[in-house]
């Protein structure tokens, strides 16, 4: 069994760490908001800093909100890099910039350690049920070592390519999800405004070519006005910002991504940043002066 450090115990990190403990591993835990009691009861060991986590662990996993958070945990005061010794492995499972991911990997490699970017998709339900999709940027040898650990957290594990490739795949995922949420919102709003029951429209569409996981889950949330977060608006907005900044660096346009980003921006401006990303429909409803009903 491995000695694993886990830094970042929020909506996603908390159940992921719990699954690793239940899988028989020893976990050293750190979170800005403190280590949740349920993880302590399972046997997790609390640590006062990322440096303290790294001193005890051979594999250090981070699950954090944004690129600056990962940089601070890895290279800031009392950070992971302060305690790394050759042979340890850093695994970032956050959703952050692919460009900066490659820079982080180089810095970690220079310390004689391996680096993997392994962002996930599947939301809180996937994290809890250990059915996440894990997109890996690493060498084959590093993935071979990490695979038994990933299998305790996820169901589909794919080596996308070298460092940064996992994050690139995750941003592609977030583009598809965001634009599909927007499309489902438009469709259900159209049906409702036309005086047709949106729940029956959704039920019918689930049996046709328009069927999708987003229509199934987020469409239901839109109809039921159930916007407690699985994945928050502000985090999805962050991911689309990374996508648009990457597109700019590549010299390409992502027009529908940019339009959907503006809808997320509107949700945040209206105080909905902490709501589920399905609440993007609220921005469409404001434009239409009509609520789905």
Q: Looking at the annotation, which residues are catalytic?
A: 170
CA distance 1 to 22: 11
Q: How far is CA 32 from CA 35, 75, 195, in A?
A: 8, 16, 48
Question: Quick check: 178 and 257 in contact, CB under 8 A?
Answer: yes
Question: Quick check: 31 and 8 in contact, CB under 8 A?
Answer: yes
CA distance 172 to 32: 29
Residue labelled with tokens 């795949």:
169
Tell me if residue 253 falls in helix, strand or coil. coil
Per-residue DSSP letter, 108:
H
CB within 8 A of 117, min separation 6: which ones?
91, 92, 96, 98, 101, 105, 136, 137, 138, 163, 164, 165, 166, 167
Sign of the CA dihedral running 188, 272, 6, 74: positive
Tell me if residue 131 falls in helix, strand or coil. coil
Residue labelled with tokens 């390409």:
252
Residue labelled with tokens 């084959």:
140
Residue labelled with tokens 């995750």:
170
């Amino acid at each position: 069994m491995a000695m694993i450090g886990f830094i970042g115990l929020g909506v996603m990190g908390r159940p992921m760490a719990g699954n690793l403990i239940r899988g028989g591993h020893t976990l050293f835990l750190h979170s800005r908001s403190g280590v949740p009691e349920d993880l302590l009861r399972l046997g997790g060991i609390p640590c006062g800093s990322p440096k303290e986590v790294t001193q005890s662990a051979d594999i250090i996993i981070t699950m954090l909100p944004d690129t600056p958070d990962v940089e601070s945990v890895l290279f800031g005061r009392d950070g992971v890099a302060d305690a790394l010794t050759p042979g340890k492995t850093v695994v970032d499972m956050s959703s952050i910039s692919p460009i900066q991911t490659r820079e982080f990997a180089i810095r970690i490699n220079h310390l004689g350690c391996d680096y993997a970017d392994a962002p996930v998709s599947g939301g809180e339900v996937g994290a809890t049920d250990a059915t996440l999709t894990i997109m890996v940027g690493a060498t084959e040898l590093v993935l071979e070592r990490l695979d038994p650990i990933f299998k305790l957290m996820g169901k589909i594990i794919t080596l996308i390519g070298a460092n940064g490739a996992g994050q690139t795949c995750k941003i592609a995922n977030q583009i598809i999800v965001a634009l599909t949420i927007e499309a489902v919102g438009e469709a259900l709003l159209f049906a409702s405004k036309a005086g047709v029951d949106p729940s029956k429209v959704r039920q019918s569409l689930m049996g046709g070519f328009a069927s999708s996981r987003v229509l199934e889950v987020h469409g239901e949330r839109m109809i039921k006005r159930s916007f407690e977060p699985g994945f928050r608006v502000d985090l999805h907005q962050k991911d689309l910002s990374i996508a648009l900044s990457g597109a700019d660096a590549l010299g390409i346009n992502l027009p529908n991504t940019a339009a959907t980003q503006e809808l997320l921006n509107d949700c945040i401006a209206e105080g909905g940043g902490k709501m589920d990303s399905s609440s993007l429909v609220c921005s469409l409803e404001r434009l239409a002066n009509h609520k789905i009903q």
